[in-house]
Structure 1
Amino acid sequence: MVLLLVAIVWGSSYLSAQTATSALPVLLVLLVRYALSALACLGVVAFPGRGPRRWTREELRAGVPLGFTQAAVLVVETYGVAHTSAANAGLIISLTIVLTPLLDRTGHRGGLPPVFYAAAGVCVLAVGLLMAGNGFHAPRLGDLLMLGAAVVRAGHVALVGRLTAGRAIRPLHLTTVQTLVGTVLFLPLAAHGLPALAHAAPATWTQLLYLALFCSVFAFLAQTWAVQRTSASRASLLLGTEPIWAAAAGVALGGEHFTALTGLGAVMMIAGTYWGQSVERAHRATALPRTAVHPTQEDTRCPATTPTTPTPTPTTPTTV
């Protein structure tokens, strides 16, 4: 239930980001979101009884570059959702599920099976239908930006796995570093717009607080807590419903509507991403035991860096 709530919160974040960016500049929205998230994370880290509060060298080494890549994801993503529908944004960004295994080679060194690429092809066709909207035309800027955001997010997710695998890194401390890095990055870019916050409507502030506290801090903490109490497969299945909730929020709350083409594209996107995810998960489960029993020459040279247990495919941890 908690993971399903996380998926609903993340799905609704596209509409919230779209509403906030209609009232304030994109970079200012990102600055406020990062700053509020950083303050909340620092408050949780400083809370008594949570163990050592200082950051380790490994957490800083991983958190700083990941802060840059996460900021890149949110820049492209937020500009994209500002120029397309919330439903399209949530559906197109789910391409991350099939793009990440192409960049993250951990667990499938022998290459992915051909059926995975068939699933990816279904997703690409679905993107074309979503971009078509009411009829085939030149791709819209927002849809292209969301497509780029899916690629950047997949790279970020793969980098998260590469920088954190086999290291004693506390997720909360890592996230806090990323939010601090994002705040520092966006402050000089959006500082001139800070006076506009004094005139922002209460509804705009509600959206900003929702994005920072619920879509970022709460969703991350809830995901971490829940994944420890269920299976990786069930977690992936529940979190994978995010695009469904994004489309539902856009239609029910944002006044958006589906044509026949976009409806078909939505169905194909959800089916393709679930298909690709299941193929990759099954391939990972069978590939890793083989490499553990019959290590390659590279495995023999670098035994300290070779995982001996399956590493679960990262779900989409970068919140919108």
Structure 2
Amino acid sequence: MRDARRTDLVLLLVAIVWGSSYLSAKTATAALPVLVVLFARYAISAIACLALVASRGTSRRWTPHELRAGALLGVTQAAVLVLETYGVAHTSAANAGLIISLTIVLTPLLDRTGGHGRLPLTFFAAAGLCVLAVAFLLSDTRLHTVRIGDLLMLAAAAVRAGHVALVGRLSVGRTLRPLHLTAVQTLVGSALFLAPAAANLGTLAHSDAMTWAQLVYLALFCGLFAFLAQTWAVQRTSASRASLLMGTEPVWAVAIGVGLGDERLTVLAALGATLMIAGTYWGQAIERAHRTLIAADPPHDAHHSGAAAEPVHAQDGPVVAPPGHKLTKT
């Protein structure tokens, strides 16, 4: 039970950090081209991640599966971020944080690691409650005319759902060390964005301290910490449950927008936030009970196929946090 609560806390922290990322990304893309922001975000993450891997001494070698999985997940994660960053550049930070939460509905449709057999219908009722919450939140933002940024965020939600499910699928029956996996992901992302951003990299030299602070925050907290935490947590739970907990992201986006931005919390926004939290924890309880039941009485075909009923835990021990940041959850 303690391990389950710790995993839930890590996923909730990921939601909080990502909820704050839209305002940071909106600010950064107002000062720099989108592709430069993406390259800088990945490059800073890669440098920090490789430094952490080097500090671990004898555990620096990557396994072939970690390299293959990291390369594939690096591409899917880069696709999520390019859609999100262009999306937030062409819509409001609030809309971006709200629309991406549709991931919670899409992930269970793709997830096959939460247990053999379909999730109970009540799980989808809980997800439906979260969708209703998003509807309240979106109506509060007066999203009557769909903008290109909103369409990009919808695409990002679909790709992120596939990415989260893929993390879970690649982890079944395998050992994937989050730090090593993230190092490959960030290197792949840096390589993908280097050439497209090369022509405008000179703008970084003229950026002010606030812009650099936003880039570092996006890289180390919204990038490195979130990548590590998500990979670590999904290996210890299912992608469906992970997506539900991270589905509180729009609530944090609204809270941060009210606390640090110019947005105001209206009655509809408060109602949407309440429904989102209720739906998230209801769905979490349903999924946990379903996964526990399957683990206690696995399907007959699982005994013969050798398929693991649960994702395999990483063997790399506690994940080391970026300098100056406590990552005690792992």
Name the TM tier (shorter chain). 0.7 to 0.9
**Equivalences for residues 1-320 of structure 1 within 5 A:** 3=10, 7-47=15-55, 49-135=56-142, 137-220=144-227, 241-291=248-298, 294-296=299-301, 299=302, 301-303=304-306, 306-309=307-310
Residues 198-240 of structure 1: per-residue CA shift (max 9 Å, x gap): 2212211110011112222244556788x69xx969x969766
**Cα RMSD for the two superposed structures:** 3.0
Task: Give the CA deviation at 1:295.
Answer: 1.2
SS of the equivalent of 2:59 reads coil
Q: Please say if residues 7 and 242 of structure 1, whose CA atoms lie closer than 8 Å, have aligned partners that are also in contact.
A: yes
Task: Give the CA deviation at 1:136.
Answer: 6.3
Q: For residues 215 and 224 of structure 1, what CA distance do their matches in structure 2 show? A: 14
Report the more deviating stretch, 51-60 or 75-84: 75-84
Q: Please say if residues 129 and 279 of structure 2, whose CA atoms lie closer than 8 Å, have aligned partners that are also in contact.
A: yes
Residues 122-176 of structure 1: per-residue CA shift (max 9 Å, x gap): 2333333333335462334433332322221111011111112221221111100
Report the more deviating stretch, 160-169 or 33-42: 160-169
Report the more deviating stretch, 260-269 or 115-124: 260-269
Q: Please say if residues 94 and 253 of structure 2, whose CA atoms lie closer than 8 Å, have aligned partners that are also in contact.
A: yes
Opposite residue 112 of structure 2, the aligned amino acid is R
Number of residue pairs matched?
301
C-alpha spacing 1:135/1:248, structure 2 compared with 1 (3 Å): closer
Identity %: 65
Report the more deviating stretch, 50-59 or 65-74: 50-59
Residues 61-99 of structure 1: per-residue CA shift (max 9 Å, x gap): 111111100001111111222233333433433333343
C-alpha spacing 1:66/1:72, structure 2 compared with 1 (3 Å): same
Task: Give the CA deviation at 1:59.
Answer: 0.7
1:317 aligns to what?
A: none
Unaligned runs of 5+ in 1: 313-320
Q: Please say if residues 285 and 310 of structure 1, whose CA atoms lie closer than 8 Å, have aligned partners that are also in contact.
A: no
* TM-score normalised by L of structure 1: 0.82
Task: Give the CA deviation at 1:7.
Answer: 4.6
Q: Please say if residues 131 and 139 of structure 1, whose CA atoms lie closer than 8 Å, have aligned partners that are also in contact.
A: no
Task: Give the CA deviation at 1:286.
Answer: 1.4
Task: Give the CA deviation at 1:119.
Answer: 2.0
Opposite residue 19 of structure 1, the aligned amino acid is T
